[in-house]
A = this chain, B = another copy of it.
Amino acid sequence: MSNPYELYYWPSIQGRGEFVRLALEEASVKYIDVARAHGKGLGTGAMMKLMDAGKVDHAPFAPPFLRAGKILVSQTANILLFIGDHYKLAPANEVGRLFVHGLQLTIADLVVEVHDTHHPISGNYYYEDQKPEAKKRADDFRRERIPKFLGYFEDVIKRNGGKYLTGARLTYADLSLFQIVAGLHYAFPKHMKRIAKNYSKIMQIHDLVAARPRIAEYLNSDRRLPFNEEGIFRHYPELDG
């Protein structure tokens, strides 16, 4: 591909775009973070323009999406499938490739549930307008859902030898698991401190990913946005139990 890839995502949050950024960074792919850039054909306006399904071929439903030459690919897990295939961040054989994608889709389910801890009624209302409901949903999430998801990933890692999710080699799902751990620690610091010891293999993947040279460089750069209370992982102390 002669032109750099174009990543389209909301400019002020990590959000779902971050799972894509981590993969692009680890793969050392040149990309423009379009909505965060300034100039002709850049910025949030350029992103909105591509989402007009009446006028654009293969228009995405929502960010993030990636333009790679002639390909316009949307939905986080689908973008990672594409990057995984082209940059060896997934096994080449069908059995392994589908397994990694299944793991990623399970991570995507977890991401929806994390978001809904602070927005159980609607993304169209402020958190402040759904606080009692958020409290209930977050309580259930901490008690029931975190153990279910993290217990599953912990078992998968152990079953595959105890290093990365699928064995000795890093895949895009490991990069996403890193982001899940970082985000859960940001959103639920007290709770995560209490339970981290139950998920030592997951925590080890977090540390292994953070220490990879390209990821370490990225995390220290200003390309990595900080977590904040506009994104998916938000720290509201009243939701931390």
Task: Count copies of this chain in the complex.
Answer: 2
Q: Which residue of B lies closest to A55 (CB)?
A: B159
What residues of chain B lie closer than 8 Å to A72, measured between beta carbons? 99
The reply to whether B121 and A101 form a contact with Cβ atoms under 8 Å apart is no
Q: How many interface residues does chain A have, given as a range?
A: 35 or more
Residues of B within 8 A of A56 (CB): 159
The minimal Cβ–Cβ distance linking A184 to chain B, given in whole angstroms, is 17
Q: Are A58 and B105 in contact (CB under 8 A)?
A: no
Chain B residues whose CB sits within 8 angstroms of the CB of A156 once the complex forms:
53, 59
**Known contacts being A61-B152, A122-B137, is A70 close to B95, with CB within 8 Å?**
yes
CB distance from A163 to the nearest CB of B (A): 16
Distance between Cα atoms of A136 and B105 in the complex (Å): 28
Q: Which residues of A come within 8 Å of B, CB atoms?
A: 52-62, 70-75, 77-78, 81-82, 94-95, 98-99, 101-102, 105-106, 108-109, 112, 116, 120-122, 124-125, 133, 136-137, 140, 144, 149, 152, 155-156, 158-159
